[in-house]
Structure 1
Amino acid sequence: MILTIRREYDRRMMLAPYLSLNGQVVTIPDGLAGTETTIATMRQMVNRSKTDPQIRQAATTVAFLQPEKDYQAEAEAVFNEVRDGIRYMRDVHGVETLQEPHITMGLKLGDCDDQAVLLASMLESIGVPTRFVVAGYSGPYYEHVYLQAWLDDRWVDMDATEPHPMGWAPPDPTVMAFEEI
C-alpha cells in the first residue's frame, strides 16, 4: 500500500522536463496569410528534421518492434508514441509559437502544430509520406492542424492531440485545406 501511494505521489509530482531553449520571434500576418506562413514554416521544419538522427532514432526505435515491412503497423506505432507521449499544451497567450520537433520530444509537450510537425518528421524519417490538414470548426477561420499519412494507397488521418485511434479526424469542419510536405 505504501509503495502504491509513493508511486502515485512520484507520478503527480513529476515536472515537465527542463530544456535550455533559444529561438526567435517572427511577426506573422493575421488571417489566411498568417495560416499560410505558419504552414510554410512547419513544412520547412519537417523537411529539415526528417533527416535529424535524433528524430530518426526515435521513429526507428518504435517502428523496429513491428513486423518487418508492415508499414501501416510502423506508422501506427509512431502515431501512438506521439499521441500517448506528448502532452497537449497551448501556445503562449496571444502568440502563435512553433517549436522544433526535437524540442517537442524533449519537453514532451506541444500544441497541435508542434505535435503535427513532430509526427510528420518521424513518419517521413521512416519513409511514410505525409501532409498537413488545416481545419476550422466555427466559421471561415483555420484553428487546428493535424496530419495525414499515405498508407496502403490512401490518406489516413492522424490527430495526435486527441485520445482517438489512427484514422480518426475531428468531425464537422467548416473549412479544410490539405498541404503537402
Structure 2
Amino acid sequence: MGHVSSACTAPKREPNSCFKCGSQGHQRKDCPRLRPTSRQLTEGTTHKEIGWIAESSSLAPTYEVKIKLEVNDVEISATLDSGSPISLISEHILPVNVIISPYTRKFQFDGVNQSKLNILGELKQNVSVNSIKIPITFYVVPENTINSICLLGRDFLSYDGIQVKFQGNNVYIDVKSTLVEEPIG
C-alpha cells in the first residue's frame, strides 16, 4: 500500500527474494528479521507465532483522496490501495435505503492477513474525484473490516480515463490527456 511499483524508489530486488531483507534463501513470512531476537520461555511452555508488527515509522504513508458518492451526495475520504484488486466500502457509511446487490460470485477475496473478506454485497456507483466521474463497483463489507470507510483498489487506479500520480506524500488525480495525431501528407 502507498505507491505503485513504477514510482518505487527502493532498489530492485532479485526475483523470488525476501521482501523484508532481500535474501534469496527465504520469503518474507520466514524472514529472521521479523522474529524477536530474544525470547523468555519458562520450562514446559509452548509458544505459537501469531503474526508480526511493523514499526509505524517504517510504513509508507497512506494516500487519501476526497470522493463524492452518488448514493448519498456526501464527500468522504477514501484510501488508495494499489495492493487491492477491488474497491471496498463500509456498510455503515451507506444510507439505510440504498439497495445493495447480492454478492453471487463463487470465489472469495482474501484480506492482507489472508483472512476471507465477508462481502455483504455489491454497489455500482459513479464516484466523483476532482469533478471527474468514475464508475466503480464497490464490495460492501461490515464496519471495522477496513481501516477507512472506503478503499479504492486497482480497479479505480487503473481506470482508463484518469492519470494517478504519487509525489512525496501527495497524490494527484487528473483526466488522462490523449494525444491527437494529425495524419502526415
Same-fold call, TM cutoff 0.5:
no
Q: TM-score under structure 2 normalisation? A: 0.26
Q: TM-score under structure 1 normalisation? A: 0.26
Higher helix share: 1
Higher strand share: 2
